[in-house]
Chains A and B, each alone.
Chain A
Amino acid sequence: KAGVTQTPRYLIKTRGQQVTLSCSPISGHRSVSWYQQTPGQGLQFLFEYFSETQRNKGNFPGRFSGRQFSNSRSEMNVSTLELGDSALYLCASSLGQPSGANVLTFGAGSRLTVL
């Protein structure tokens, strides 16, 4: 079956602009999580959505936001971009069944460069 699809794969923006990234989870997966990866900070959890509701949020400013649609597809938005927002943004999906282990399947990521 198809994996987690993220679009766009690469994008370049300038400071002050805003960006929207998209994630299509594996069919049947209802939980979508977003991560930011930078060389200095590694992989950091941004937020998680389940059934169109944000379940958890990492320690990021309010400029970072997200949403999930009824078909489980998710988008994240970063407003007023800063140079430090340059990163690989990763989306991961999982079944979200509340028992036992929870395996995340990651997409290839969206590489954002802010100039």
Chain B
Amino acid sequence: DAKTTQPTSMDCAEGRAANLPCNHSTISGNEYVYWYRQIHSQGPQYIIHGLKNNETNEMASLIITEDRKSSTLILPHATLRDTAVYYCIVRVAMGTTDSWGKFQFGAGTQVVVTP
């Protein structure tokens, strides 16, 4: 699975959009980009994933560059409850690996939403 690089931390004002970058320059064609977040001492929460196209759900939007070497998670209207560590993970499609449940979590980005 390709490695990812994320900023260590970032602040965001409540009500503003939070744009979280992730670099995955060695990503291959069959690797998905996943985003999870972890609020202090809770289990990680799935946010969104994508392969090539931009994706949007009720939580966030995922913008993947055309060359797929980087992506941005967008929280459209950040709230105080969005304060968490956000993890960007790149992982091969199932069926091409025996490690279905093995995700490589890095250090992530600590996002602090301030009033």
Total A residues in contact with B, Cβ cutoff 8 Å: 32
> Do A108 and B42 have beta carbons less than 8 Å apart?
yes
Cβ of A2 within 8 Å of any chain B Cβ, yes or no, is no
> Do A104 and B105 have beta carbons less than 8 Å apart?
no
Summarize A's interface: helix, strand, loop or mixed: strand
**A residues less than 8 Å from B105 (CB atoms):** 35, 42-43
Cβ of A81 within 8 Å of any chain B Cβ, yes or no, is no
**A residues less than 8 Å from B103 (CB atoms):** 45, 104
Cβ of B80 within 8 Å of any chain A Cβ, yes or no, is no
Task: Tell me how far the C-beta of B62 lies from the nearest C-beta in chain A, rounded to whole angstroms.
Answer: 12
The interface-forming segment of B9-17, B66-74, B92-100 is: B92-100
Cβ of B44 within 8 Å of any chain A Cβ, yes or no, is yes
How many contacts between A and B, using CB within 8 angstroms?
A: 83
> Do A104 and B101 have beta carbons less than 8 Å apart?
yes
**A residues less than 8 Å from B44 (CB atoms):** 43, 90, 92, 104, 106
Whole-angstrom distance between the alpha carbons of A97 and B101 in the complex?
Answer: 11
**B residues less than 8 Å from A31 (CB atoms):** 100-101
Task: Tell me how far the C-beta of B72 lies from the nearest C-beta in chain A, rounded to whole angstroms.
Answer: 19
Option from A32, A42, A98, A101 in Cβ contact (under 8 Å) with B106: A42
> Given contacts A90-B44, A103-B49, is CB(A48)–CB(B94) below 8 Å?
no
**B residues less than 8 Å from A101 (CB atoms):** 32, 34, 49, 51, 93-94
> Do A92 and B51 have beta carbons less than 8 Å apart?
no
> Given contacts A42-B106, A100-B93, A101-B94, is CB(A33)–CB(B51) below 8 Å?
no
Contacts A4-B43, A48-B99, A90-B43 supplied; 6 other A-B pairs, CB < 8 Å: A33-B102, A56-B101, A92-B101, A102-B94, A104-B101, A109-B41
Chain A residues in contact with chain B, CB under 8 A? 4, 31-33, 35, 42-43, 45, 48, 50, 55-56, 58, 88, 90, 92, 94, 96-109, 111
Chain B residues in contact with chain A, CB under 8 A? 32, 34, 36, 41-46, 49, 51, 91, 93-95, 98-107
